[in-house]
Structure 1
């Protein structure tokens, strides 16, 4: 399970040339170590190919359009729970405290609820603990999966795999609550700018202050991926 979580963490990170060049290694690891069933492995391999076999700039553009400019597909988990609520800041602190207690260090500029980071953390825990924590986010993961499938995105395979690894079914009411929210238009840049201006979050000694806009987010994703990809 740990290798699956690490692989999905990488595949959901901002794609770069290093990730593209890791395609064969990721496929081999899935063949040798995965706890997923055959169809789920095929889905992840399709995602690997979609990242590895295309022009890197096209891959990056697709990623940004999906996850950075589409709020309803945000890879920041608490976006789907708290939105603009001030409780989001305390939730960030609590999650970071959990990382600290486990000896899991994160980049001070990265938000603790960034899904690839959360999955990287889970890959360091026991299967039992990883499934429990993954289960707590399952309604968010399921909602994002449904939205990606609606768009015909190959990235949905990563979320299908996460649902399988949890060993549980997402709460249908909580999932529906997220899915039924109005989706934003990723091409409405003025609206996107307003969202980022309104949602600057301060937590843990101002670590998040003025550091959650799309451009800054992309830089943080690249840095996180460089650290994580050396451990696969």
Structure 2
């Protein structure tokens, strides 16, 4: 399972020539991972083969269109539960503390809630702990799979596999809240500019008072009191 988490982390990252060239090796690694089922392995390998089959520029353009220009498909986990609220900064600090306590160093240019980074971290943990932590994001994973499936995107495969690997089912109420949000239009560049101009993440807060661990992450991911999105910043697809 840990190997597969690392492979999915790579496949959900920005496509590069190195990634495309390494797909046969990634597929072989998935086949050798006895911790996942045949169906999940097939889903992952189909995604890998699809990425490798495209012209690199086409693969990169598709990735940016989906995950960078479509806020409701963001690969930043806390975007879906905290949005622009101040709680997001506190949640970032908590997650950074979790990484630091585990001796997991990250590149300063990447936000800690970036899903490929989170999956890479989970790939270093015991399988039981990795599955439990991943399960705390289940409602986000399912929402992303549903949205990608509606777009007929092969990237839905990655989230289908992650749902199986995760321990625990998505909270139905939280999932409904996520799926009820209006979908962004990635072609509305003015709306996109407004989002990025207003989005400010501040690290700080009470992280020193509350040690970050599975219980703290669960609280952040449930986000029962998260700020509702401003309808003026959303457009329906």
TM-score bucket of the superposed structures, by smaller chain: 0.7 to 0.9
Matched, 1:104 2:104: yes
Aligned to 1:169: 169
Unaligned runs of at least 5 residues, structure 2? 205-237
Aligned to 1:182: 182
Residue 59 of structure 2 is aligned to residue 59 of structure 1: yes
Equivalent residue for 1:155? Answer: 155
| TM score, norm. by length of structure 1 | 0.86
Shift of 1:180: 1.0
* Equivalent in the alignment of 2:79: 79
Task: Verify the 8 A CA contact 2:84 2:201 in the aligned structure 1.
Answer: no
Query: 1:145 touches 1:156 (CA, 8 Å); kept in 2?
Result: yes
Equivalent residue, structure 2, for 1:226: none
Aligned mates of 2:59, 2:34 — CA distance in 1: 25
Q: Deviation at 1:150? A: 0.9
**What does residue range 20-169 of structure 1 map to in structure 2 within 5 Å?**
20-169=20-169
Instruction: Give the alignment's TM-score, normalised by structure 2.
Output: 0.84
SS of residue paired to 1:169: coil
Moved more, 93-102 or 40-49: 40-49
Shift of 1:34: 4.4
- Distance across 2 between alignment mates of 1:169 and 1:20: 33
Q: CA RMSD in A?
A: 1.2
Which 10-residue stretch deviates more, 49-58 or 161-170? 161-170
Q: Whole-Å Cα distance in 2 between the matches of residues 98 and 167 of structure 1?
A: 19
Question: Is the alpha carbon distance of 1:34 and 1:18 closer, same or farther for their aligned partners in structure 2, counting shifts above 3 Å?
Answer: farther
Is the 2:148–2:156 Cα contact (8 Å) retained in structure 1?
A: yes
Contact 1:4 1:34 in 2 (8 A): no
Check the 8 A contact 2:77/2:115 in 1, yes or no: yes
Tell me how far 1:200 sits from its aligned partner: 2.2
Equivalent pair of 2:134/2:167 in contact (CA under 8 Å):
no
How many residue pairs match? The answer is 205
Shift of 1:39: 1.9
